[in-house]
Structure 1
Amino acid sequence: MATVAGVAVEGGHWIGGERVSSPTTFDDVSPIDEKVIAEISRGGEREARAAVEAAGKAFPSWSRTSREERARLLHAIADGVEKRLDQLAIVETTDNGALLRSHLRGVMPRVAHNFRFFADWLLTLGHEDFETRGHRNHVSWDPAGVCALITPWNAPLMLATWKIAPALAAGNTVVLKPAEWTPLTASLLADITAQAGLPDGVFNVVQGYGAEAGAALVADPGVRRVSFTGSVPTARHISTAAAANLTPLSLELGGKSPLLVFADSDLDLAVDLAVEQYDNAGQVCLSAVRLLVEESVAEEFTARFVAKASALNQGDPRDLATDIGPQIHRRQFERIDGFVQRARAEGATALIGGGPNTDLGGLYYRPTLFTGVAAGSEIVNEEVFGPVLTLQTFRTEEQAVEMANSTRFGLAATLATGSEERAARVSERLVAGTVWVNCFFVRDLKAPFGGSRQSGVGREGGDWSFDFYCDLKNTVTAPWEK
């Protein structure tokens, strides 16, 4: 048990409705000051197997539980999240360094909404029966079984519950493996599910490293679904392990998304959208980190961007006046700096930032904007996952689209334009799972979400989530004799 920002947090696993410890532990370090805040049980094959067995034991009963009762329990979990919203927010800020104001105002309320949305959507899920030569076709969504969910560190609880809620709603049981850098709110969620009355074994949490606990989970033959959010290299390992059991996968991976700014756009809006890409210290997979600006307005856009971005307040994320906090971990901090220094060596110019914030020290990296970057260079093509943007110019719409689609990724794209016709033309040609026009990060849980190319496999959200977390069945019935 650890006390984090005044909140008691268990460091053990949650398996079959009980706290379970491992012989070894690992340190959980806060990015705010790089101090150890908790010791966490280090799970591996033994704990993963126990969690899958517990989930498998609970599955028959839970899968037969009525939709109405499942929905009631998901709403009860949402109630528990809302009752502890302040605690969840400060613990997650301490654990991953994201802004407390964001956790309070948006992220933790979204956690509760994830459960409520899928609870309600479950009750409307269905397909009209249809006839084939007098025979009735009836489509149903059958629970698939045990789901292994492996989640990232940049928005730990929100992204975990985006998977947990539909998996549970569908009648599956869950084993969650949270990121080892940010395990604390997953542990608190286990307490909340127990207090809400979720039966033992329906929801389980195994802490540990991906190469140990995560690898054991995805290779377990008792797992019938794997959903992963993270990097492309890790996804390749997961895909290989899951292939042995033909386990279906949902993969939401990296991105190198563009923001296209056309000369007919509202430049104030375009600049606001561009500066917003520094959200969460640039640690957002959807971020439009490649600014592609029409040549005729590039100078004015750049001047306005530099002025606005330079005014951002970097500091302690627990301060509600802070705009940018620290990077998540020393390893990630050094990775970001490596990208920046190599870009400099290749001739790129940092108009702002370009290195650590020496005034703050620690893991604080200055918001950076590079110009003079070469097409095809590392800084343009590879995901940095930090507060580093590049700015390139284009002359024609055709060139803009070509530049936007020039990487191996296809997670999202944003465009700013005053022309409805251009917005329609360009959006149709962009390779992306989500396109935002004159806005950013507007997400409805009814919409499909996922990536193209190496940004992922599959879609989740609304019916798409249930399509993944269920086995769809069509029952064909001959006419009954009267």
Structure 2
Amino acid sequence: MHERIDIEGISVSPDHFIDGKRVGSPTTFETRCPFDWPRKLADVARGDAATADLAAQAASAAFPGWAALTAAQRGVYLHRLADLIEANVEQLALIECLDMGMLLESLRLRVILRGAANFRNYADLASAHEERVWSSRGTANRVIRSPAGPALIITPWNAPFMLSTWKCAPALAAGNTVILKPADWSPLSASLLADLIEQAGFPPGVFNIVQGLGTELGNALTGDPRIKRISFTGSVPTARVIGKAAAENIVPFTAELGGKSPLLVFADADLDAAARKAAGQYDDSGQVCMAGTRIIVEESVSEAFLERFHAYTDAHVMGDSRDPATTMSALIHPVHAARVLGFIDRARTAGDTIVRGGKRWKDDGNWIEPTLIAPRDNASEVVQNEVFGPVLTFQTFKDEAEGIALANSTAYGLSGIVYTGSAERAERVGRAVRGGTVWVNTFLIRDLTAPFGGIGISGIGREGGDYALDFHSDLKTLQILEGSVRSSQ
């Protein structure tokens, strides 16, 4: 076991959390600060197959006791954890900011508190669940929701704390034990979550964290037959590998895999609001899966829209993510920054027009200027593939049919944004745009009870509300012949 590390006055364990205890590893990996590169924050325990086995043993041993509790009893733990998250917002926000690079103000005011809301909402949803009851052909019927078993949660490096809580909360509320595998580029807020789990008094083994590299841990975790559910957010290639492992053991699997979402603007829209929201897609340097990265504007208002868009984009401030004046953060890692720059360079070489940006903000560091590209045609790589950086594309359309066709012209289908002043068009186009979530005249407002997930290569399955609780449960129909039994009391 390694000593805890002091990071700007906050104590963080670099170790795994298994069976209620900190567990070290003989080897480590580094995590560094995106906006103060190459400042090293910690050497983090690097798990292997033996670590994965230890976590699976702990989660399996703890499952019967946790599953035997009522939803209300489990809810006490989840509400206690939510209280602790709210009491530790400042520490969680600073560590997430340093480790992932997200803006500190956004983390303090919204993102970390969403983590507390995730645990509260799922505790309440699980407790309020009513079994479906009906009569059919002389039988009394009930659908019973039972805990499934240990759940493996694999989270990405962007918004790691919020996404960990979003996935772990329904698994725990449903009665499953959890093994969380955080991303190796931003693992530290998950370690703080484990501290809070311990403070909340969760039984040992109910919640476990295994840190490490996916290439070294992936097969051991996803292929373990003791794992009964797998929930993953990340890339399409990784999802294909995990999906094959899940299929080997016939394990239900959900995957949220990013997007290439359209931001469709009609001539009757509030152009100022649409342009402001479009410039807002550069938030977190575009490292947001649901971002509307393909701006598609009705031709007759394209120039007026662009004038407003450039004005709002010019107002962005790049810099230290701890500075309240900063509106655009650094990208998380030099490897990812190089990947994003590769998209821009290939677009330039292929004949796409770089309307603005297109280069690093400074000679060193992980910042890339807010970039807008007008593609030579819709088949352009930068239109069809997810960049996951501050790179938007700009296209125009002549009529509604062409706008919808462009919106639906990629293999992705996570979300969409539509701006229009017409109620009829809002309904018509909202239904026509291919995506798991479509916003009209707004963006990123989420009801936690609504289904969330993607279409096409944006993913399989749905999270959110009862959809997530059903995924983390085994559903049983119990049929009893009416009149054949009577109460003994």
Deviation at 1:237, TM superposition (A): 0.6
SS in 1 for 2:36: coil
Cross-structure match for 2:102: 98
Tell me what 2:333 maps to. 329
Tell me which residue corresponds to 1:298.
302
What is the rounded CA distance, in whole Å, between the counterparts of 2:375 and 2:239 in structure 1? 33
**Who is 2:132 aligned against?**
128
- Listed one character per residue, the Cα deviations across residues 59-105 of structure 1 (whole Å, up to 9, x for unaligned) are 00000012111001000000111111100000000000000000001
Q: Find 1:173's aligned residue among 177, 181, 189.
A: 177
2-structure distance, mates of 1:354, 1:192: 42
User: Cα distance, 1:243 vs. partner?
Assistant: 1.1
User: In the TM superposition, what is the alpha-carbon distance from 1:372 to its structure 2 partner?
Assistant: 4.2
Contact 1:373-1:390 at 8 Å conserved across structures: no
Aligned residues of 2:375 and 2:382 also touching (Cα < 8 A) = no
Q: How many residues align?
A: 481
* 1:393 counterpart (384, 396, 400): 396
Distance 2:51 2:244 in 1: 21
- 2:62 pairs with 1:58: yes
After the TM superposition, which residues 318-357 of structure 1 pair with which residues of structure 2 at under 5 Å, given as runs?
Answer: 318-357=322-361
CA distance in 1, matches of 2:154, 2:7: 23
Mapping of residues 156-171 of structure 1, within 5 Å: 156-171=160-175
Residues 276 and 308 in structure 2, CA contact (< 8 A), matched pair in contact too: no
Partner Cα separation in structure 2 for residue 266 and residue 217 of structure 1: 49
2:20 counterpart letter in structure 1 = G
- Code of the residue aligned with 1:400 in structure 2: it is G
**What's the CA shift for 1:215?**
2.6
Unaligned runs of 5+ in 1: none
**Could you tell me how far 1:428 is from its partner in structure 2?**
1.3
- Please tell me the residue identity of whatever aligns with 1:67: A
Question: Could you list the per-position Cα deviations for residues 368-394 of structure 1 after superposition, in whole angstroms to 9, with x for gaps in the alignment?
Answer: 111243211101000000000000000
Distance in 2 (alpha carbons) for counterparts of 1:60 and 1:372? 56
Q: Tell me, what secondary structure is at the counterpart of 1:291?
A: strand
Task: Tell me how far apart the structure 2 counterparts of residues 37 and 428 of structure 1 sit (CA, whole Å).
Answer: 46
In structure 2, the CA distance between the partners of 1:372 and 1:381, relative to structure 1 (3 Å rule), is: closer
Is residue 12–residue 191 contact of structure 2 (8 Å, CA) maintained in 1? yes
Aligned to 1:148: 152
Further displaced range: 368-377 or 302-311: 368-377
CA deviation after TM superposition for structure 1 residue 351, in Å: 2.3
Instruction: Provide Cα deviations, 1:108-164, integer angstroms capped at 9, x if missing partner.
Output: 010100000001111111233100123110111100000000001110010011010
Q: Give the whole-Å Cα distance in 2 for the aligned partners of 1:372 and 1:70.
A: 52
Out of 362, 374, 393, the position equivalent to 1:371 is: 374
Contact 1:150-1:214 at 8 Å conserved across structures: no
Equivalent-residue separation in structure 2 for 1:126 and 1:435 (angstroms): 29
Measured on the aligned residues, the alpha-carbon RMSD in Å equals 0.9
Tell me what 1:233 maps to. Answer: 237
Q: CA deviation at 1:214?
A: 2.7
Instruction: Name the residue aligned to 1:465.
Output: 468
Q: Compare 423-432 and 249-258 and name the one that shifted more.
A: 423-432
Q: Any runs of at least 4 consecutive aligned residues in structure 1 with deviations exceeding 3 A, and if so which?
A: none
C-alpha distance in structure 1 between counterparts of 2:8 and 2:329, whole Å: 17
SS at 1:32's partner residue? helix
CA distance in 2, matches of 1:128, 1:470: 15
Residues 196-215 of structure 1 aligned to structure 2 (within 5 Å): 196-215=200-219
Amino acid at match of 2:425: R
Residue 426 of structure 2 aligns with which residue?
Answer: 423
Identity of aligned residues (%): 50
SS, match of residue 26 in structure 2: coil
